[in-house]
Amino acid sequence: MKSVKASKYYAYMLRCSDGTIYSGYTTDPPRRAAVHNRGKGAKYTRSRLPVTLVYQENFSTKSEALKREVSLKKLSHSEKIALIEGKAKMQLD
């Protein structure tokens, strides 16, 4: 049986209960946030539950989404907040 590839990939950010921001990539942001909230996501978020999906960008390739995830992780907390609030211009690195 032929495997079906996702047509969309996403870089996303979650706001953790302690106010920190976690960045990741997925093919389904709401499902991934639910996985985090069940304590089955990244080790970082397990002790910071609940998390809320606050930002996502879509890409046509996994590579693009992974590159954006890396660039999101490099942002300062204030830069992430500005992006979430729509005050920063979205740029692909």
DSSP state letters, 18-29 = TS-EEEEEES-H
Q: What structural domains does the chain harbor?
A: 9-84 (3.40.1440.10)
Question: Which residues are paired to 55 by β-bridges?
Answer: 13
Q: What was the pLDDT predicted at 2?
A: 53
**pTM given for the model:** 0.85
CA distance 11 to 60: 11
Q: What was the pLDDT predicted at 87?
A: 74
Mean pLDDT by 10 residues, the chain (93 residues): 67 97 97 96 94 96 97 96 79 43
